[in-house]
Amino acid sequence: MQHVILITEMLQLESPIDAERWCSDQRHRGETLGFVPTMGALHKGHLSLVTRARAENSVCCVSIFINPLQFEDRRDYETYPRDTGSDLVLLEAQGCDMVFMGNLKQFFPEVSDLSKIDILPAGPHGLGLEEKFRPGHLDGVRTIVERLFRTVGVSRVYFGEKDFQQTLVVSDLAREMGYPSIVVCPTVREDSGLALSSRNVLLSQDDKSRAEQIYPALLAARDAWLSGERTAGVLSAVMTDCLNHDGIVVEYAEVRDPARWTAEPPQTPLLRAQALIAARVGSVRLIDNLRLDQ
C-alpha cells in the first residue's frame, strides 16, 4: 500500500495588500476563511484559536502585527515580546495556510502623516474598566481590527475570551460592518490557573507566583456567586481581598453584566455576571476574567 504524505507549506505575506488579494482569491475558489488576528509571541492560547479556525473553515490565516495604536505606553510597546521565527514554526505546525504581517504605513496607505490616523472610538463597550486604566487602548484596537477585517473580508474571526472587553468591542464592529462573524474562544491557562499571555515571559519567578493569585480571586468570586451573592460591590471586595498581597497592584477587580455592559458596576442585583481583573505585577500588566453564572 502506498502512503501519501501531504506537506503543505504555509504562505508568508509581507503586506496587507497581498493578504487581501490572497483572501479574495480563496473566496472566489469557494473556500471558507478562518482568521486569527494576533500580535505574535505566540503561545498555546493563540494556537487554540488557530486550531479552531482550522477545524471550522477550509482555509485559515493569521496576522502578526504589534499595533502601536493600541499602546498608550511607549515602553510597553517597546518591550512587548517579539519572536517571529518561533511564531512561524508554530503556525506552520498548526496547519495555518497563510500568515501576514505589515507595518502601520501599509495598513493606512492613504495617510501621509501616521500621527494623523483617524482613530475610531471603541463605542459603548469600550467604556469603563480598560478605558479607565488604558485610555485610548480599545480605540486603537478597533481602528486596526477594522483594517484587518477589511483586509480579510468575509470570514470567521477568532478572538480569545481572555480579552473580554475587546471581544465586545470587536463584535460591535463586525455587526456594524456586516461581516465577518466573531467566534469567542475559552481562555487557555497554565496548570496553576494563570492565563497564558505573551507578557508572561516578562515575569520573574517571584512575580509569576504573585500573578498566580489572579485566577483564585476569580474563583473566589464564583464561589460567592454560587453561594447566592448577587451584589457587584461585594463580589468585587471578595476578589480584592484575595489580591491583597505585596507586589500586586490591582487596577480593577470588578463585575459587569456581560449582556448589559455599563461603565460603572451595576447597582442592582445581578442576573448575569462577568468578573474582570487587571493587575500589575512588577512591570507587567495582566488581565483575566471569568463568567460567574455559567
Would you please indicate which residues are annotated as catalytic (active-site) residues? 46
Q: What residues numbered 11-40 form the site for ligand AMP, per CB under 6 A? A: 38-39
State which of residues 13, 96, 99, 196 lies at the interface with ligand AMP (CB under 6 A).
196
Nearest CA to 60 among 24, 100, 26, 98? 98
CB of 57 to ligand AMP, least distance (A): 16
198 binds ligand AMP (CB under 6 A): yes
Candidate ranges 45-53, 120-128, 228-236, 260-268; the one touching ligand AMP (CB under 6 A)? 45-53
Task: Evaluate whether 182 touches 170 at the Cβ level (below 8 Å).
Answer: yes
Residue 26 beta carbon to ligand AMP: minimum distance, rounded to whole angstroms:
22
Q: Are 68 and 107 in contact (CB under 8 A)?
A: no
Give the closest residue to 136 by CA, choosing from 46, 144, 201: 144
CA–CA dist 167, 289 (Å, integer) = 12
Among 187, 236, 274, 289, which residue sits at the site for ligand AMP (rule: CB under 6 A)? Answer: 187
Tell me the torsion sign for CA atoms 79, 84, 85, 89. Answer: positive
159 near ligand AMP (CB under 6 A): yes
Q: Does 160 bind ligand AMP (CB under 6 A)?
A: yes
Q: Which is nearer to ligand AMP, 126 or 160 (CB)?
A: 160
CB of 38 to ligand AMP, least distance (A): 4
Sign of CA dihedral 225, 228, 230, 236: negative
* Minimum gap (Å) between residue 45 Cβ and ligand AMP: 2
CB 265 within 8 A of CB 140: no
Q: Could you say whether residue 258 binds ligand AMP (CB under 6 A)? A: no
Q: CB of residue 43 vs ligand AMP: minimum separation in angstroms?
A: 7
**Residue 48 backbone dihedrals phi, psi, to 5 degrees:** -65, -35
Per CB under 6 A, 195 contacts ligand AMP: yes
> Is residue 258 reached through a cis peptide bond, with omega within 30 degrees of 0 on the bond before it?
no
Interface with ligand AMP: number of residues (CB under 6 A):
17
Stretch of residues binding ligand AMP (CB under 6 A), selected from 27-35, 114-122, 156-164, 268-276: 156-164
Please report whether residue 188 would count as binding ligand AMP according to CB under 6 A.
yes
Element (H, E) at 107: helix 104-107
Q: CA-to-CA distance for 122 and 136, rounded, in angstroms?
A: 8
Angle at 234 between CA 232 and CA 236, to 5 degrees: 70
Q: Which stretch binds ligand AMP (CB under 6 A): 171-179, 196-204, 219-227, 276-284?
A: 196-204
Computed over its alpha carbons, how large is the radius of gyration of the chain? Answer: 20
- Nearer to ligand AMP among residue 26 and residue 48 (C-beta): 48
CA separation (Å) from 6 to 2, 3, 95, 215? 13, 10, 12, 42
Please say which residue, 36 or 238, places its beta carbon nearer to ligand AMP. 36
Residues that bind ligand AMP (CB under 6 A): 38-39, 45-46, 48-49, 159-160, 162-163, 185, 187-188, 195-198
